[in-house]
Structure 1
Amino acid sequence: MKNDLPGASGIGGGVWRGSDPAWLSPGASRAASLLEEAADLLVVHLDFAAALDRCEKGCRSLPGEADGEDAGSSEELRCSLCIVGIQALAEMNRWREVLPWVLQYYQVPACLPPKVLELCILLHNKVKEPRVMLDVGSDWLRASANQHLPTYGLLVQLHLFHVLLPLGHFAEAQEMVEGCKALSKEQRLEACRILKEKRQLWLQQPEEPPDSEAQAEIAWKTQLGLVSKKVLTILAQLGRALGSLAGQFGSIPYKMALLAAFVLFLIVVKLDPASPTSLPFVYRLTRLFHQARSAVFSSHYRPPI
């Protein structure tokens, strides 16, 4: 992913353009040395974990608050260290850690350097996760201190084309284009044209059919429901048969009890009571029970079937 993101070609010497390290404070001088080492590990040795470690050490060595020229050099060093660190995380496919890792050094999104924000937008657009940068980019663009920066117009376009439009936020994109004074007239017209095309394509997109896993789950639940109904029908038939025979076990001889158990076995195991083809057999079996009852018991005492 290194060659797909900005800053990779300038990591070796183009990113850091501060003063001579000999004239820096001890913390800034150590950070500059760690930056050079991190860039060498990233580009030459491809040791991304070690490069990230050097960047973290370099950011921790920088003073929290500095004055004068040293403050500008420290901020530029911190920005360069973050660029190398972002590149190292991207190479290790740890892009989800990029934004939290950067914000630990800048606290709020509005304080991010333009280069760092640009790199984060492009990275999350490449991995198809622009939503991560939606609030971060909006907060940065709304900050009044950032609206006077030379790269503000570029960041507006990046947020527009790589965050808002992929997410379908066309109303917010239209409002941003119309209210941005950093864009020239030609840039606004071009942005409006692209916005109109993207909106038409968005509306013409067909609804995505459910994936195969969802279809398989629906089919499984349907089949499970049918099986459950069949089992409940069998259990209901079995319960009625047991209830009918429970009052007769005291007066029916042992052989007749065995015969009844055998017939019950045929009904439950060999015959599906829920099937329409089994109804004539059940009807004939009921008639046989009535005939057996008439033959065995007297007319004064005939237990119910």
Structure 2
Amino acid sequence: MRAEPPAWAPGPAQAAALLEEAADLLVLHRDFAAALERCEAGCDSLGPVPGPVPGPGPVPGQERCGPGPVPGPGPVPGQESFAEVKCSLCVVGIQALAEMNRWREVLSWVLQYYHVPEHLPPKVLELCLLLYSKVGEPQVMLEVGSSWLRAQGNERLPEFGSLLELYLAQVLLPLGRFEGAEELVRGCAVFDSEQQLEFLGTIGESRCRWTQREETRSAAEEQQDPATETLLGVLSQKLLTMLTLLRRALRSMSNHFYLLPYKKMLLATFLLYLVVVRLDPASPTSLPFIYKLVQLFRQAWAAVLSPIHRPPIRD
């Protein structure tokens, strides 16, 4: 009696085909949206990652072949290829999202397939750390990186040391989290004493540079405040002087117009309005009337202005 293949076997084959298609769309055709769709379809076809068998027992799908215990605990056959295909799909999906300038969605998109940060593959975590550091948002990976590095089992991975160093350089130190960085290095069993001293020295140098930048920034702000106050004081003094001169000019004009008889001034204004606005000088019928108005305007002008300040009027 032939053994039936595991229930999850068609998943990796279908996901691998979708992965190849997504890679072609990403690299060759530059169709990022279509590549992302293939990655999502491939991850959905895989479903949850199969976990290791906890002890001796039949592998799912072998019950019909007769009894036959598994020779000990270990991963399910095909589990490594399953995880690699899913990781590769997420890597292509991350690149597609970044190309479409949708980098803010990367972390949430990845976590919908791995659910918790502790289960992220090292390659996916590395891409997320580099991406959010490049766009100037390292704080997004602060809790995710800490959870992954503190999770039991991840220390045994060969990529753990490089990921810890990347997390320190790209997240903790740029954010000024020096105490957390020192605690993480001291509690890491992967590094020996010499490596720990080297990392602690790097953290100390970064702390000194951070302190110097903060002191320089504070000094610049303190110097800028007096300069701003001086500039504002000069502008305020100039504005006050201009307002004073304007007030004096208005007062002088009001005093001059107050001395003129209001009735005569209104009559002169009305006559000038009739000549300039209401009459058409180009019309022949308006010439005698304009001449009379000019005579009246001369009389009003002579009555308004005193003989001392009367300007000469020429015909």
Larger radius of gyration: 2
Tell me the CA shift for residue 42 of structure 1.
1.2
1:193 aligns with 2:201: yes
Aligned counterparts of 2:184 and 2:30: Cα–Cα separation in 1: 40
Q: Name the CA shift for 1:44/1:176 in 2 (closer, same or farther; >3 Å).
A: same
1:47 matches 2:31 = yes
> What is the RMSD of the two structures over their aligned residues, measured on CA atoms?
4.3
The offset of 1:163, in angstroms, is 0.6
SS at structure 2 position matched to 1:134: helix
Q: Distance in 1 between matches of 2:96 and 2:41?
A: 14
Contact 1:63/1:74, CA 8 A, preserved across alignment: no
Which deviations, in whole Å up to 9, do the C-alpha atoms of 1:48-82 show, x marking residues without a partner?
11111110010011132536743332222111100
CA distance in 2, matches of 1:202, 1:134: 19
Which amino acid is 2:17 matched to?
S
- Quick one: which amino acid aligns to residue 66 of structure 1? P
Aligned to 1:91: 99
Instruction: Give the TM-score taking structure 1 as reference length.
Output: 0.60
Whether contact under 8 Å (1:28, 1:63) holds in the other structure is no
Matched residue, 1:31: 15
TM score, norm. by length of structure 2: 0.58
Instruction: Supply the AA of the counterpart residue of 2:217.
Output: E
Q: Is the 8 A contact 1:51 1:85 kept in 2?
A: yes
Which of the numbers 176, 185, 191 marks the counterpart of 1:183? 191
State the AA in 2 paired with 1:60.
D
Q: Which amino acid counterpart does residue 131 of structure 1 have in structure 2?
A: Q
How far does residue 147 in structure 1 lie from its aligned partner after superposition? 2.0
Query: Per-residue deviation at 1:25?
Result: 1.5
SS at match of 2:154: coil
The range that moved more, 180-189 or 65-74, is 65-74
Among 69, 77, 83, the residue aligned to 1:75 = 83
Partner in structure 1 of residue 164 of structure 2: 156
Answer yes or no: is 1:127 the counterpart of 2:142.
Answer: no
Is 1:207 paired with 2:217? yes
Paired with 2:148 and 2:51, the residues of 1 have a C-alpha distance of 24
Q: Which amino acid aligns with 2:210?
A: W
Q: Deviations over 1:247-294 (max 9, x none)?
A: xxxxxxxxxxxxxxxxxxxxxxxxxxxxxxxxxxxxxxxxxxxxxxxx
Write the distance in 1 (CA, Å) between the matches of 2:159 and 2:134: 21
1:176 deviates by 1.4
Partner of 1:229: none
Q: How does 1:4-23 map to 2 (within 5 A)?
A: none
- AA aligned to 2:12 is A
**Moved segments of 4+, more than 4 Å:** 208-211
Query: Which consecutive unaligned segments of at least 5 residues does structure 2 have?
Result: 1-6, 53-75, 233-315
Residue aligned with 1:99, SS? helix
Report if the CA contact (8 A) 2:8-2:46 is conserved: no
Aligned residues: 230
Q: Distance in 2 between matches of 1:26 and 1:145?
A: 29
Give the aligned residue type for 2:13: S
The amino acid across from 1:105 in the alignment is Y
- Partners of 1:98 and 1:210 lie apart in 2 by 38
Q: Distance in 2 between matches of 1:175 and 1:56?
A: 38
8 Å CA contact 1:31, 1:59 repeated in 2: yes
Task: Tell me which residue corresponds to 2:282.
Answer: none
- Is 1:137 the equivalent of 2:145? yes
2:122 maps to 114
Post-superposition offset of 1:184: 3.3
Same amino acid, percent of matched pairs = 57
List alignment gaps of at least 5 residues for structure 1: 1-22, 223-305
Distance 1:24 1:185, change over 3 A: same
